[in-house]
Amino acid sequence: MSSTNDYNELLPVISAINSADVLTPNIPIDVFVQEAENLYHWCKDDQQELTKVGLDWNFVLTLPVRAGACREAQSLWIKERNTRQDAEQAWKDEAPAAFDLRDQLIHDFRFAFRKFDGLLSRVDEIAQGDTNADMVQDLNDLSVLGKANSEPLAVINFDMPLLDTAADVSDRMGDLLGATNGERKEDSEAMLIRDKAFTYLKQAVDEIRECGKFAFWRTPDRLKGYNSDYWKVKNASTKEKETTTPVN
C-alpha cells in the first residue's frame, strides 16, 4: 500500500488525537519512519516472546500503515512549507514595485481629480493605511475608481493601461500574501496533522520497544533491534562532548 493510501486510511484516527496529547517530533521524521519500518521487520520473529510479556500484536500489524501515514503527512507539510517560502521570496521581490505603483496612481489621481471634491476624498480614503493588505486592496480600488472616471485622467495624459496593470498586480500580490502566511497562523493544519501522525506512530514504536527491551534484556543479539540507532549515536556524541569539555 502506498504512503498516500496509508495516510487516507488513518487520517480519521490521526485527526481525532487530542491536541493536548500531540508530541512535537524530536527526531528527523524520515529517520524515525525508517526506524519504525526496520523495527517492524525485526520484531516479526519475536511474536511469541513479545505477546507473552503483554504486547498487543496489533501495534506490530499496524506499524507499516502508521509509518506510511507519517511519511505522507511529512511530505504534505514540507510541500506547504516550501510553497510558503517560495511565496515569501516572491513577495519580497515584487512588493517594492507594487507599492511604487500604488503610490504613483495615488499621485496621479490626486492631480487629475483635484477639482472634484468627491473623487479626491475617495482617493484620500484609499490612501489611508500602508500595510501589505492595504496595498493589495488599494491597487484594486484605484483600478476601479480610475476606470469609472477616465475623463479627468485623459486630460492629464494618464497611462490608462496602468489601471489593468493595477488590477492584475492586486490579484497577484493577494495570492502571494495569502500563500505567504495564511494570515500569519503560527501552526498550519498540515503541520498539526504531521505531529499527530508522528504521535500515532510513536505510540506503537514505544510500546514495541519497551516490550522488546523487557523481554530480551539478557539476549543482546535480539535486544539491539529494539534500540534507536539515532539516539544511540546522538547520546554517544553528547557524552563525548561532555568528556572533552575542559572544566573551569
Domain ranges of the chain: 3-83+194-244, 86-181
C-alpha cell of 205? 514504536
**Half-sphere exposure of 226 toward its Cβ, with a 13 Å CA cutoff?**
25
**DSSP state at residue 16:** T
* CA distances, 57 to each of 11, 143, 164, 221 (Å): 21, 66, 65, 22
67-101: per-residue pLDDT in tens?
Answer: 999 999 999 999 988 888 899 999 999 999 999 99
193-223: per-residue pLDDT in tens?
Answer: 999 999 999 999 999 999 999 999 999 999 9
Write the Ramachandran bin of 187: left for phi over 0, alpha for psi from -120 to 50, otherwise beta: beta
Answer for the pair 175, 125: CB distance below 8 angstroms, yes or no: no
Instruction: Give SS3 for 66.
Output: helix
**Half-sphere exposure of 111 toward its Cβ, with a 13 Å CA cutoff?**
11
- Average pLDDT estimate for 155-168: 96
Determine the angle formed by the axes of helices 63-112 and 189-215, rounding to 10 degrees: 160
